Amino acid sequence: MEKCSSVMQGVVTDVDKKSDTRHGYYYIAYVIFEEAHDMSFETPSVRHEYTKGESVNIHYAPDDISDYYINSAEPTGQDVSLIFTLVFMMIVVSVTDIVRGKQYRKLCSGQNGSEG
C-alpha cells in the first residue's frame, strides 16, 4: 500500500455479492478508470458494500499500475477481532493448563507424603 502513491478516479461497473454463513455478505467490485474504460480493476472480497455507479479512488504504484488498491477495499475489522479472540482463547487455555498442572503436582506430592 505504501508504494501506491498515485491516485485515479474509478467507477464501479458491477458488484458480486457473496454469502458467508458465518460472517454475512462479502462484495467484489469491478471498477473501470473513468478516463480510459479499457483499464479495469477488481477489489478483493470485502465487507464494504459497493454500489454500481459509485465513484472510488484507485491508488496505484506509479511504476506498476498492476500494484493497486481501491478505497474501502481494506480487510474488515471483523478479521482483526477474530484474531484477537483466538489469541485470547489461547491465553485462557494456556493459563488453565498451567493451573491444572500445579493442582495435579500438588495432589501427587500430597499423596506421596501420606504413603510414607
**Could you report the per-residue pLDDT of 57-67, keeping only the tens digit for each?**
989 988 888 88
Q: In sequence order, what are the residues at sequence separation of 6 or more whose Cβ sits closer than 8 angstroms to the Cβ of residue 42?
A: 28, 29, 30, 31
Domain assignment present for residue 81? The answer is yes
**Residue of 4, 7, 51 whose CA lies nearest to 29:** 51
Mean pLDDT (the chain, rounded): 80
Give residue 91's domain range. 75-105
Q: How many domains does the chain have?
A: 2
pLDDT digits (tens, 9 = 90+) for 91-102: 887 888 888 878
Alpha-carbon separation of residue 68 from 21, 55, 91 (angstroms):
29, 16, 37
Per DSSP, 43 falls in state -
Longest dimension (CA), the chain: 90
Same domain, residue pair 66 and 10? yes
- Asked if residue 57 and residue 18 are part of one domain, the reply reads yes
Based on the domain organization, do 66 and 83 belong to the same domain? no
Q: Let me know if residue 110 belongs to a domain.
A: no
Residue 56 lies in a domain: yes
- pLDDT of 75 strictly over 50: no
How many angstroms separate the CA atoms of 106 and 74, rounded? 51
User: What pTM did the predictor assign?
Assistant: 0.54
Q: Are residues 34 and 57 in the same domain?
A: yes
Same domain, 20 and 50: yes
10 and 62 both lie in a single domain: yes
